[in-house]
Amino acid sequence: MSVDKLMIYAISDSIGETARNMIKAAMSQFYGRDPYEIKRFPFVTEKGMLLDILQSAKKDNAIVVYTLVEDDMCDFVREFSEKENISSIDLMSDMLGKISNRLDKKPKREPGIIRKLDESYFKRIDAIEFAVKYDDGKDPRGVLKADLVLVGISRTSKTPLSMYLANKHIKVANVPLVPEVPIPKELSEVSSKKIIGLTNSPEKLNEIRTERLKALGLSSKANYANYERILDELDYSENVFKRLGCPVINVANKAIEETAGIILDIMKENGLNIFKDGEI
């Protein structure tokens, strides 16, 4: 005796992965090889389209599973299903209702938010990987690909700032300034609006570099922490900043978050796209 294939319609106002995965999980609980087919209908945002799908579901004697967040679309499916005796399952409304009651907040009822959250996550990871790849001038080609370029002598917070801004979806390359090493030619090809110079007080640099040498087990008298050397590096960096025509931030006594906030304000003033807190 042949078994009719079970038809299941998965209707969504986004890509429909949630409905499809739930259906597959449910079907896995039925032993044997009962034939079934999932017909997925993504990005259903109009009632005209929804009506056509529901009429087709009726002809196929299908179970309708839907993840629609707009109230009127859910009501449409519910009313049509009751009228036409279609088996339908609303995967979202009951959950949204219970969470809404517990939080005493209304849901956004915005289609595709999960997908947008995923996009936000991958953009952040991409920016973090970019910051790591083009940290400390490892590859000057990154300067041309970056949303922002940080330049400064050693111990001016280039790396931590690059990582902090990467979490704001900003692709940052940073370039160290060393008097004996020519700056990458790529810097001259970048708009000064995309470059930020970082500096520090000589006292703070002397303190930080001395501690750095101690941590490495090296003598604090090394040239790296020498006060005169630090003054020379600062003079050199100031000349580079003037040539590049970029804004300069003194990071002395500033937390990373404070400096990053200043950078974001500068980017905004210069018309560069930035990620806003709370954005998806």
Residues 143 and 250 occupy one common structural domain: yes
User: Where does residue 112 fall: left (phi above 0), alpha (psi -120 to 50 degrees), or beta otherwise?
Assistant: left
Q: Assign 161 a pLDDT band (cuts: 50, 70, 90).
A: very high
Q: Are 237 and 177 in contact (CB under 8 A)?
A: yes
Residues 102 and 184 occupy one common structural domain: no
Residues 103 and 122 occupy one common structural domain: no
Domain end marker among 111, 132, 149: 111
pLDDT digits (tens, 9 = 90+) for 123-149: 888 999 999 999 999 999 999 999 999
Across the range 187-205, mean pLDDT stands at 97
Answer yes or no: is pLDDT of 50 > 90. Answer: yes
Answer yes or no: is pLDDT of 277 > 50. Answer: no
Question: In this structure, is residue 1 part of a structural domain?
Answer: no
pLDDT digits (tens, 9 = 90+) for 56-72: 999 999 999 998 888 88
The total of structural domains in the chain comes to 2
The amino acid at 163 = M
Question: In this structure, is residue 169 part of a structural domain?
Answer: yes
Residues 118 and 107 occupy one common structural domain: no
Q: Among 104-118, 185-199, 210-224, whose mean pLDDT is lowest?
A: 104-118
For residue 73, what are its two tokens?
Answer: 């679309």
Q: Assign 48 a pLDDT band (cuts: 50, 70, 90).
A: very high
Residues 68 and 44 occupy one common structural domain: yes
Question: In this structure, is residue 275 part of a structural domain?
Answer: no
Could you tell me which residues come within 8 angstroms of residue 121 by beta carbon, excluding any fewer than 6 positions away?
A: none
Residues 125 and 259 occupy one common structural domain: yes
Give residue 236's domain range.
Answer: 114-269
Report the candidate in 141, 143, 122 with the shortest Cα–Cα distance to residue 194: 143
Residues 169 and 85 occupy one common structural domain: no
**What is the overall mean pLDDT for the chain?**
89
pTM of the model: 0.62
The pLDDT value given to residue 105 = 79
Taking the alpha carbons of 23, 24, 29, 35 in that order, is the dihedral positive or negative? positive
Residues 210 and 239 occupy one common structural domain: yes
The pLDDT value given to residue 116 = 59
Give strand ranges (E) for the chain: 6-12, 36-41, 63-67, 88-90, 148-152, 172-176, 195-199, 248-250
Question: What is the CATH number for 172?
Answer: 3.40.50
Answer yes or no: is pLDDT of 21 > 60. Answer: yes
Question: In this structure, is residue 274 part of a structural domain?
Answer: no
Question: In this structure, is residue 277 part of a structural domain?
Answer: no
Residues 103 and 119 occupy one common structural domain: no
Residues 95 and 211 occupy one common structural domain: no
Question: In this structure, is residue 259 part of a structural domain?
Answer: yes
pLDDT digits (tens, 9 = 90+) for 64-106: 999 888 888 999 999 999 999 999 999 888 888 888 888 887 7
- β 248-250/195-199 pair status: parallel
The pLDDT value given to residue 279 = 47
Q: Helix, strand, or coil here: 35?
A: coil
Q: Rounded to an integer, what distance in angstroms lies between the CA atom of residue 231 and that of residue 212?
A: 18
For residue 55, what are its two tokens?
Answer: 């009429």
Taking the alpha carbons of 41, 43, 47, 49 in that order, is the dihedral positive or negative? negative
Across the range 200-227, mean pLDDT stands at 92
**Residues of 129-162 as b/e, b for ≥16 C-beta within 10 angstroms?**
ebbeebbebeeeebbeebbbbbbbbbbbbbbebb
The pLDDT value given to residue 123 = 86
Answer yes or no: is pLDDT of 215 > 70. Answer: yes
Q: Among 193-202, 234-243, 257-266, 270-279, whose mean pLDDT is lowest?
A: 270-279
Residues 83 and 147 occupy one common structural domain: no
Between 89 and 274, the more confident residue is 89
Residues 257 and 138 occupy one common structural domain: yes
Counted residue by residue, the chain has a size of 280
Domain end marker among 55, 90, 111: 111
Question: In this structure, is residue 276 part of a structural domain?
Answer: no
Question: In this structure, is residue 92 part of a structural domain?
Answer: yes
The pLDDT value given to residue 59 = 96
Domain end marker among 111, 144, 168: 111
